């Protein structure tokens, strides 16, 4: 079993996924638009918006879509967690996601992590970036 985040956007899914592809070193392997789907007649204003996208990052993936305006809700109570081994890479990713975003906790050393930071990117997605201390890596 895999657990895969599915991110909803308020019209910026395509831009967000292109950003995540660049920042996270992934590859967008699928993008479907409302206008090319059976939902085209129901949501004509969403014709050029993303109905489903898939970004592969190694053997993991992130999925996403633009939610119809009446169904969109800003993410609350959850974050996408990135667990890294390299502090420099963690700092690079955090800085890129923080650009025009909202830093909730600057990336820094903590008692459990060589680096940990929490940021909401400019697309509204909350991220936690973590590089565990050896004692907490298996926890």
- Whole-number pLDDT of residue 107: 98
pTM of the predicted protein model? 0.93
Q: Where do the structural domains in the chain lie, given as residue ranges?
A: 6-66, 80-136
Write out pLDDT tens, residues 77-107. Answer: 999 999 999 999 999 999 999 999 999 999 9
What is the CA angle 102-104-108, rounded to 5? 120
Compute the distance between CA of residue 111 and CA of residue 2 in angstroms, rounded to an integer: 29
- Whole-number pLDDT of residue 22: 98
Work out the end-to-end distance of the chain between its first and last CA atoms, rounded to an integer number of angstroms.
Answer: 20
For the domain spanning 6-66, the CATH number is 3.10.180.10
For the domain spanning 80-136, the CATH number is 3.30.720.110
The reply to whether domains 6-66 and 80-136 share a CATH topology is: no
Mean pLDDT for 112-133 is 97
Question: In the predicted model, is pLDDT for residue 138 greater than 70?
Answer: no
- Whole-number pLDDT of residue 139: 55
- Whole-number pLDDT of residue 134: 80
């Amino acid at each position: 079993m895999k657990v895969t985040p599915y991110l909803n956007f308020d019209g910026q899914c395509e831009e967000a996924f292109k950003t995540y592809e660049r920042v996270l070193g992934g590859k967008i392997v699928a993008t479907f638009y409302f206008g090319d789907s059976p939902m085209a007649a129901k949501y004509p204003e969403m014709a050029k918006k993303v109905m489903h996208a898939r970004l592969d990052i190694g053997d993991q993936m992130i999925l996403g879509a633009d939610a119809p305006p009446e169904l969109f809700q800003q993410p609350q109570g959850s974050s996408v967690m990135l667990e890294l081994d390299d502090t420099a890479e963690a700092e690079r990713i955090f800085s890129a996601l923080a650009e025009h975003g909202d830093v909730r906790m600057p990336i820094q050393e903590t008692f459990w992590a060589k680096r940990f930071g929490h940021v909401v990117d400019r697309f509204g997605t909350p991220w936690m970036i973590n590089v565990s201390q050896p004692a907490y890596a298996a926890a």
